[in-house]
Chain A
């Protein structure tokens, strides 16, 4: 059964059709990759799914529920979470605090209780700090838990963003270029993390330019170009699809 169904969505900025009548479905529990040349409309598409951009036409269904134009902050309670191409990390907060933000919807934010430090608030804090720490341990970041994010490298912050997304306990995780700008080791680490979370039942929609990673971890690939869907299929099908090779890979064959 498809978890996310995108049905003919369109978005234009002025005269430019950034996303033009795209439809595809993301099966539950898979890693679905979205690829395309720069400016193809990948990030626009993710911004539309995650409610940051409004949708001009078409519908998006999550678990058969229409989530078209649902504001971003309401998607979290449906367990849809995303990361960003250009980090959206709170730089003046520690790694731990950033991860704790991921528990936002589960924690009580009653101002009165917070200002008088009710016991329930402190207990919650303790409980979720514990969970956050176990998430951080999993990706090997427990040592930097109390470090300010502004003092950390780009590669670590990319991981912090994924951990924060995991804290929400997502059913659908939208990863917008999680390994852009990272070196080989970091890329492998993140690829492994993505594989792991997928095995735990999280459905992943992955945007990436790193072909090696895409080909090795994704179950299905959708290719878009100039805001339109070009092809869809398994990594093998895509790597041999002549349309894709011509439009996106510029001739030659693709190494799986």
Chain B
């Protein structure tokens, strides 16, 4: 009973095993870059899934929030020579405050209107990042200072791989705990019926705001880490397409499913790299694969596991 809080379920154990095997398959720096990009995208998607998949509030602005957060951290540590970890913490706080004030009016909207609202916020952020070139370097982007934790410098791919993997495993574990807790139950209740949530005594706007802020903070943390890893940041990473890409990842993987966000992020991030041998037809095939999967599995890739489970139970 004492340490049941540290209980790890099968999914987490399998994830850890997969994550520890993958480095043996990675041959060069480019492979590492894809792996790290997959993992950090997966972390952003886990946060976004909490908002979109579990609470039922769509956001088409999370790419912009992740980008803005990364810029805040990077500007602090590069231009003003703050400690990188401190910069990320400050960026998370700043973005939490921004998300809080943005969410107050915007989460009053529902469905398509909320999508439009968050989309607009995302575009505004993107324009600001492009135009404030004294701070952000404008459309050309800017270089980023090196990353260290309490003086321990991250310089090679393996270090970054381990850091991202730990971040990912922790995010999966924490989200899983939250979703199965009373807090998570209320989120799911809001998704299914806001009226029911009110009737059982939940302050719906409070929870919506709370989750929105958390997902933005997670996006900020993962987005900043990615910029430190690549050593470069540009407004492109906060653009409209980036926000759409994040939503595609969680829908493709499976809305409201913990591993859905992870698998979706990995596939959508890595697949284009595997398709490069197709040259000019790369995007066409990529699009066709997404359409095919969504037609066959409208509930996302993870619904395969449900089918497997049902057929196993029947035997």
Interface residues of A (CB under 8 A from B): 50, 52, 71-77, 81-82, 84, 88-93, 97, 100-105, 107-111, 114-119, 121-122, 124-125, 164, 168
Contacts and interface: CB of A to CB of B under 8 A. Distances in A.
Contact of A92 (B5, B192, B196): B192
A73 B198 contact: yes
Interface stretch (B75-83, B176-184, B282-290): B176-184
A52 B195 contact: yes
Interface in B170-199: 174-175, 177-178, 181-186, 188-189, 191-193, 195-199
B297 interface: no
A100 B182 contact: yes
A101 B189 contact: yes
Tell me if B's interface is mostly helix, strand, loop or mixed.
helix
A72 B5 contact: no
Contact of B201 (A108, A110, A117, A168): A168
Contacts of A111: 178, 183, 210, 214
A91 B174 CA distance: 25
A101 B191 contact: no
Contacts of B5: 116-119, 122
Given A52-B198, A101-B186, A111-B210, A89 B193 contact: yes
Contact of B199 (A88, A100, A103): A88
B195 A104 contact: no
B256 interface: yes
Contacts, number: 109
A108 B256 contact: no
B193 A73 contact: no
Nearest to A101: B200
A158 to B, nearest CB: 14
23 contacts: A52-B195, A71-B198, A73-B198, A73-B201, A75-B201, A76-B200, A84-B199, A89-B192, A89-B193, A89-B196, A90-B188, A91-B192, A92-B192, A100-B182, A105-B201, A108-B182, A114-B181, A116-B5, A116-B177, A117-B4, A125-B181, A125-B182, A168-B200
Nearest to B170: A115
Contacts of B175: 115
B185 A92 contact: no
Contacts of A124: 182
A88 B177 contact: no
Nearest to A149: B192
A82 B199 contact: yes
Contacts of A50: 199
A92 B256 contact: yes
A118 B199 CA distance: 27
Nearest to A111: B183
Given A52-B195, A97-B188, A105-B200, 16 more contacts: A73-B202, A73-B204, A76-B200, A76-B201, A89-B196, A92-B191, A93-B185, A93-B189, A97-B185, A104-B186, A104-B200, A109-B182, A111-B183, A115-B178, A117-B181, A119-B5
Contacts of A71: 198
Interface in B69-112: none
A88 B196 contact: yes
B140 interface: no
Contacts of A107: 182
Contacts of B200: 76, 101-102, 104-105, 164, 168
Contacts of A116: 5, 174, 177
Contact of A101 (B196, B203, B210): B196
B186 to A, nearest CB: 7
Contacts of A103: 182
A168 B196 CA distance: 13
Contacts of B4: 117, 119, 122
Contacts of A104: 182, 185-186, 200-202
Interface string B189-233: 101110111111111100000100010000000000000000000
Contacts of B256: 92
- Identify the interface centre among A77, A103, A111: most chain B CB within 10 Å of its CB: A111
B30 interface: no
A82 B200 CA distance: 9
B103 to A, nearest CB: 16
B55 to A, nearest CB: 12
Contacts of B204: 73
Contacts of B197: 73
Contacts of B202: 73, 104
